[in-house]
Amino acid sequence: MAPQSPPKATLEHSQSASGSATADGFQEEHHYRSGPLRWLLTTNHKEIGSLYLIFSLAMFMIGGAMALVIRLELFQPGLQMIQPEFFNQMTTMHGLIMVFGAVMPGFVGLANWMIPLQIGAPDMALPRLNNFSFWLLPIAFTLLLSTLLMPGGGPNFGWTFYAPLSTTYAPPSTTFFIFALHMAGISSILGAINIIATILNLRAPGMRLMDMTLFVWTWLITAFLLIAVMPVLAGVITMMLLDINFGTSFFNAAGGGDPVLFQHLFWFFGHPEVYIMILPAFGIVSVIIPTFARKRLFGYASMVYATAAIAILSFLVWAHHMFAVGLPLVAELFFMYTTLLIAVPTGVKVFNWITTLFRGEITFETPMLFALAFVVLFTIGGFSGLMLAIAPADFQYHDTYFVVAHFHYVLVPGAVFSIMAAVYYWLPKWTGHYPDERLGRWHFWLSVIGVNLLFFPMHFAGLAGMPRRIPDYALQFADFNMASSIGGFLFGFSQLLFIWVVVKCVRGGVKAPANAWDGATDLEWTVPSPAPLHTFETPPDLRDFKFH
């Protein structure tokens, strides 16, 4: 469909739009800095948001290239392209870069851009800290990537870096890996503090917590999760550092330590971490679906409570990653039931999205296509998660490609598709132009076909017993792997189309009005497109604003 013309809603709130137009003039006089230092020193939430998103896209392409190296080697059985040592570095770095470099900064970038616009704030609460938390990331990931060139190679112990594989048997570069992860963690913590301070203090007058969009809500809860678990990650990698360099024995059985302790600590961080990567996605989808269904979100309050319930439950399920480690029966049962319990609030969410669509006036623009694909494909990932949650069955699935299929379904057509949906949805606000709808659709369909061809056969390979993290495999898995590899290359190369759409949209295209999507009612659509550098310098008065 062609982009919609600006609806009446825009005109109703034109007073806040004109308020920001004067703000625009203000920044021309005082704040504009030219030259290369502009991006290094910027404290503007929109510029920092763009930096985060560009960084995330760069990491997505690097991590994706590593995934293609993996898929190339697995195209056929036998060792053709690379050696097992390098293969292990590729699987490890692919995971680390996608989790800490692509998905998390992608969501933080969206938060930076959109949270102030959605709550009517002039900027983030701590703009200079914001600049610092971004610039930690390029340094951290340059250091992490440089370990690939060091003697002994980069990290090769899997993204979960289980001790003692990551301590006693690790390459010498592991200390740099720890340092890089510390920096990425500090960046996340500072970002989370900033987001909490912004949401709790800078909402425009008249906006209560229960008036906020779901995107802001999910990010508020995610920020609390970050505050709670990033210190655990920092602690566990510090213990690794001490074990490697200072002769302690936290995870070394010879000195009285316990390798299983590592797994408990890691997954106490790691399970909330996977919700850190999906809760903002829930928020994005909960904003996009009502827009294109032209209905209010069904069950707003239940969405908020479900998000909070998922966040709380995420602290009680960590040992479901460790069913095969030798837990007592009571613990297996406890973690099995708490994990199954998470399906309840998640089911509430899926139910609400579908009910929002019910009898809606749905149109299928690119952001909506990605959001709908999210609902369907994330749910598939959720169901395979339920299968894995059943402790006796998990002994069969553990460490097979079934697990790989599961978490890629929730992370790629889950988290990554939601970021793409968000980019297509908000590009008109960011650039003032609509993204090319025809190319966007090509990108969507190639991605959705590629992603399913890539990950669906992995379920079967895993059920047939193919282990994770192996560069070579038994002949009976050859067909599944060839299909996966073809899907992988299709998905990987269609992302070049995504970059092309974004670049094209930045350079020009159909002009977007302030309210770019018919049916969009949130606050960001009341400011002009492209959003001027400074918006809401005078807070909008929202006492008569119709929320959701």
Partner 1 sequence: MTPVQRTVTKTLFALMMMVGFTIALVPLYDVFCNITGLNGKSASQPRAIVSGEIDESRYVTVQFITRTGSGLPWRLTALDRQVRVHPGQAYEVRFAFVNHGKTASRGRAVPSVSPSEASLHLRKITCFCFQEQRLEAGERLELPLMFQLARDLPENVHSVTLAYTLYPAADDQLSSSVIALTQGGGA
Helices 279-293 and 300-313 cross at an angle (nearest 10°) of 160
Burial class (CB in 10 A: 0-12, 13-18, 19+), 229: buried
Distance in Å, CB of 163 to partner 1, minimum: 13
Contact status: 201 vs partner 1 (CB under 8 A): yes
Contact status: 268 vs partner 1 (CB under 8 A): yes
Contact (CB, 8 A) for 353 and 286: yes
Contact status: 236 vs partner 1 (CB under 8 A): yes
Max alpha carbon distance in the chain (Å)? 71
Contact status: 196 vs partner 1 (CB under 8 A): yes
Using CB under 8 A, pick the residue from 200, 376, 474, 499 that binds partner 1. 200
- Judge whether 24 counts as a catalytic residue: no
Distance in Å, CB of 392 to partner 1, minimum: 16
Peptide bond into 530 cis (omega under 30): yes
Distance in Å, CB of 188 to partner 1, minimum: 12
| CA nearest neighbour of 422 among 524, 333, 314 | 524
The Cα–Cα gap between 167 and 252 comes to 9
Distance in Å, CB of 172 to partner 1, minimum: 17
- CB nearer to partner 1: give 235 or 465: 235
Using CB under 8 A, pick the residue from 182, 264, 441, 504 that binds partner 1. 264
CA dihedral 156, 158, 162, 165 (to 10 degrees): -20
- CB nearer to partner 1: give 269 or 498: 269
Distance in Å, CB of 247 to partner 1, minimum: 7
Per-residue mark of binding to partner 1, 325-354 (x: CB under 8 A)? -x-x--------------------------
- CB nearer to partner 1: give 126 or 453: 126
> CB under 8 A: which stretch of 244-252, 312-320, 343-351, 493-501 binds partner 1?
244-252
- Judge whether 443 counts as a catalytic residue: no
Using CB under 8 A, pick the residue from 82, 145, 234, 439 that binds partner 1. 234
> What single-letter amino acid sits at 323?
F
Distance in Å, CB of 81 to partner 1, minimum: 31
Contact (CB, 8 A) for 137 and 111: no
- CB nearer to partner 1: give 239 or 415: 239
Q: How far is CA 296 from CA 4, 299, 307, 361, 491, in A?
A: 18, 9, 18, 11, 33
Q: Identify the three-state secondary structure at position 400.
A: strand
CA dihedral 318, 458, 99, 118 (to 10 degrees): -90
Contact status: 232 vs partner 1 (CB under 8 A): yes
- Judge whether 534 counts as a catalytic residue: no
- CB nearer to partner 1: give 221 or 405: 221
- Judge whether 159 counts as a catalytic residue: yes
- Judge whether 187 counts as a catalytic residue: yes
Using CB under 8 A, pick the residue from 257, 270, 487, 519 that binds partner 1. 257
Residue 116 neighbours by CB under 8 Å, 6+ apart: 45, 122, 123, 124, 198, 202, 535, 536
> CB under 8 A: which stretch of 26-34, 186-194, 372-380, 488-496 binds partner 1?
186-194
- CB nearer to partner 1: give 228 or 497: 228
List alpha helices for 277-328, DSSP H: 279-293, 300-313
Per-residue mark of binding to partner 1, 94-133 (x: CB under 8 A)? -------------------------------xx-------
- Judge whether 353 counts as a catalytic residue: no
Structure tokens at 98: 């996608």
The Cα–Cα gap between 142 and 413 comes to 27
- Cα-to-chain-centroid distance, residue 462: 25
- Judge whether 275 counts as a catalytic residue: yes
Neighbours of 80 (CB within 10 A): 12
- Cα-to-chain-centroid distance, residue 179: 22
Active site residues: 94, 123, 159, 187-188, 271, 273, 275, 286, 320-321, 346, 349, 468
- Note the residues at the interface with partner 1 (CB under 8 A): 125-126, 189, 192-193, 196-197, 200-202, 227-229, 231-232, 234-236, 239, 247, 249-250, 253-258, 260-261, 264-265, 268, 326, 328
